[in-house]
Every structure is written in structure tokens, then in C-alpha cells.
Amino acid sequence: MKLDKVPEVVIQRLPRYYRYLGELLEEKTNRISSMELSRRMGLTSSQIRQDFCSFGEFGLQGYGYNVKYLREEIGKILDLDRMKRMIVVGAGNLGQALANYQFDKVGFELIGIFDINPRLNGFAIRNIKVMMMDALESFVQENQVDIAVLTIPEEAALDVGMYLEKTGIQAIWNFTPVDLNTMLHICVKNVHLDENLMTLAYEYKNLLKKQA
């Protein structure tokens, strides 16, 4: 597999391929042509062939792709076949919503929730009790934590991000508006839902223009 050469844009598309292939498996579809997959996903078939070519040979010409195998291989590239252990830091509106979602289905297990608000101490979300921040360091030492989901106010983001880095956590899924990836030396993925919403506004404007 030519993994070193996989372009970043292709990596960004892999989760979407993974999701579609999962749906196909649920429909008991065993093989799919690039043409059919492209129709479903709104990509061109040559784009799909090119993407899959960049990380290996997955299809036989004229025979289509083996859906299960392809999904497994994409899962391996994304490291989804190894369950990763997550904690949520900041059990407010967003933290609770994320903690309530079962990311287990795609390989991420929630094992702890932390906050500084004593009123949340012991409050359970999906049977996981919120713990106070002073318990975090020993929790990380005793449990193998892969990812911290950061859902705290902007003002606290950098300090807490640096603290998490110090505890040995090596990946942060950062929902705060602070772009921590430029400040920390661990893996940080910033999520800005509002940026996505702004691009929707742009597309909506164009649709309205076309209809006028």
C-alpha cells in the first residue's frame, strides 16, 4: 500500500467513503462499480478510481470493488479497527450533547467526563459520572486515554489544552474557537460548525440567485 503518498485531500474523503461503504454493506451489497459508487456519492467515477489508486489496488477492472474488503482497508488506513478511548473535558451544553452520542459505532469509546463546576460532580451521562478536573491527571495515568474532546469556554482553552498535553494526552478534538493546533505539539483537530454553516449560506445565496 502506497500510504506515504496519499494526498491530504484523499484522506479527507476517506471517512465519507467509509460511511457509504458501511451503508452498502447494510444493504447486503457485496460489489460495487466506481460508476455506481460515484452516482451515489456525487463524485465522478474517475475521481473515485484515482482516490483508491493512491492507496492501493482495490478493484478489478470491470468487476467492481469488494465492498467489505474496501471498507476494511479504509478502516485500517484511518485506524478505525483499534478502539480509541476518549474523555470529554467541559460537560456543558456541547460536551453533554457529544457525550450522549455513541461514537463507539465508529471506534471511539467514551471513558470519562470532566468539568470544573462542582454542581456537575457525579452527574451521569450514559452511565459515566462527571469527575472534577483535579481527578484528570491520575485518571489519564490509570486509563489509556487517546483523545480529549475539548468543549470548554474560549478563555480556558489554551491553559487546559497545555495541561492536557502535559498529562500525556496526544490528541485533542477541539471545539473551542481557539486554533490550538498552532500552539500545541500534539494532534489537534479543530471543529468549527459555524464555518460549515457559513459555506451553506454561500451555496444558499447561489441557489436563490439561480431561482430569481
Determine whether the annotation assigns residue 30 to a binding site. no
Do the annotations mark residue 122 as ligand-binding? Answer: no
- Nearer of residues 39 and 129 to ligand NAI, judged by Cβ: 129
State which residue, 60 or 198, has the beta carbon closest to ligand NAI.
Answer: 198
Least distance to ligand NAI, CB of residue 96, Å: 8
- From edge to edge, which strands make up the β-sheet containing 108-115? 124-125, 128-132, 108-115, 84-89, 147-150, 171-174, 187-190
95 is in an annotated binding site: yes
Residue 94 marked ligand-binding: yes
Task: Find out whether 92 is annotated in a ligand binding site.
Answer: yes
Provide, rounded to whole angstroms, the least separation between the CB of residue 191 and ligand NAI: 5
CB nearer to ligand NAI: pick between 24 and 180: 180
We find the least distance from the C-beta atom of residue 168 to ligand NAI, in angstroms, to be 17
Q: Which is nearer to ligand NAI, 34 or 151 (CB)?
A: 151
Residues found near ligand NAI in the complex (CB under 6 A): 89-95, 114-117, 133, 151-154, 156, 160, 175-177, 191-194
- 42 assigned to a ligand binding site: no
Residue nearest to ligand NAI (CB): 92
**Comparison of 21 and 188: residue with beta carbon closer to ligand NAI:** 188
List the binding residues for NAD(+). Answer: 90-95
List the binding residues. Answer: 90-95
